[in-house]
Amino acid sequence: MSKLGRGLDALIDSGPEAIDKTTGITTVKVAFIKPNRFQPRKVFKEDKLRELAKSLQENGLIQPIIVTKKDRSEYELIAGERRLEAARIAGFDEIPVIIRSVSPREQLQFAIIENIQREDLNAIEEAIAFHQLSEDFGLTHSQISEIIGKERTTISNSIRLLKLNENIKQMVLDGKLSSGHARAILQIDEKLQEEFANYIVENSLSVRKAESDAKRIRETGSVQKINEEITENSKIYHLEERLNNIFKVKVRISGKNNKGKITFFYSSKEEFDQLLSGFEKK
C-alpha cells in the first residue's frame, strides 16, 4: 500500500529526518503560506474558527501545520487549514510548520484524509474530492477506498451524489439535507428531485421517512400526492384522537378510495360498558 494509506502520520517521521532543518519543524511567516488549492472543504464555520483563534492566542500553535515549498519564499498548505486560518484571525505573524515535498495528488489525498479523520467534510465536499481523485488523478474507486479507509461502495455512492442538481447540492452544503436524504432523493425521477428535496426540508423528514416517501413517489409519480396523503392522514389521526377521548377506548380508522371502516377496540367488560355508554350518550 502507498505510504499515504497510513494517513497524516506518514508525513511526520520520528527518525533523523525530523531534525534536518530542510524537512523538520521550522517557522514561516503566515503571509507566505497559500491555501491548499486541492482543499476539498468549501464550507468553514466562522464561529468555530474564532473559537480556535482564541485558543491559539491563549496557548499558542502547539501542533505545526504541514506545507510544501513552492519557491524561495512561498509555501502551499498540505494539512492544517483550520489552524492556518485561525492563526490568521489570531494575528500570528509566524507559525511552526513541517516542510514536505509532495505531488499534487498527494496534496489532495492528505487534505481529504485530514478532513475525514476529523469528520469535517460534508457529503458533497467529500463526493467532489473523491471524484477529483478519480477523474484528475486516474484512481479507481477501489484504490480510493484503500487510501481513504472506506468501503468501495461508500466511495461509489458518495460520487453518485454529484448527479444531483446544483440547488440540491447547495442544500447539502448548507446542512439542510444529510447524505442519507440526498441518497433518498436520487431514488426518484430527476424532474421530481428538487421538489422532493424542498418537501424533505419543509417537513423536517428523517432519513428513514424520506426513503419511505421516495418509494411512494416512485409508485405514484408525484410528490404532491405524498403531501395530500400526509394531509389526509393528519385529519384521520386527529379524528381518531377525538373518538378516543369521547368513547374512552382505542379507535382506528382505515380506508382507501373513499371507502373504509372505523374500528373500536376494548379489552375488558368495563371498557365495553364505557363504549356502550358513549354511544348511548350520543
Asked if residue 262 lies in contact with residue 251, where contact means CB atoms within 8 angstroms, the answer is yes
Integer Cα distance of 92 and 215 in angstroms: 54
Helix 190-203 crosses helix 166-173 at what angle (to 10 degrees)? 30
Question: Can you give the pLDDT at residue 159?
Answer: 92
Each residue of 47-67: pLDDT tens digit? Answer: 778 888 888 888 788 778 888
Residues annotated catalytic, as ranges: 81
Q: What percent of the chain has pLDDT over 70?
A: 79
Give the pLDDT band (50/70/90) at residue 266. confident
Asked if residue 183 lies in contact with residue 159, where contact means CB atoms within 8 angstroms, the answer is no
| pTM over 0.85, yes/no | no
Give the pLDDT band (50/70/90) at residue 177. very high
Structural domains in the chain plus CATH codes: 3-156 (3.90.1530.30), 165-221 (no CATH), 226-281 (no CATH)
Question: Can you give the pLDDT at residue 271?
Answer: 80
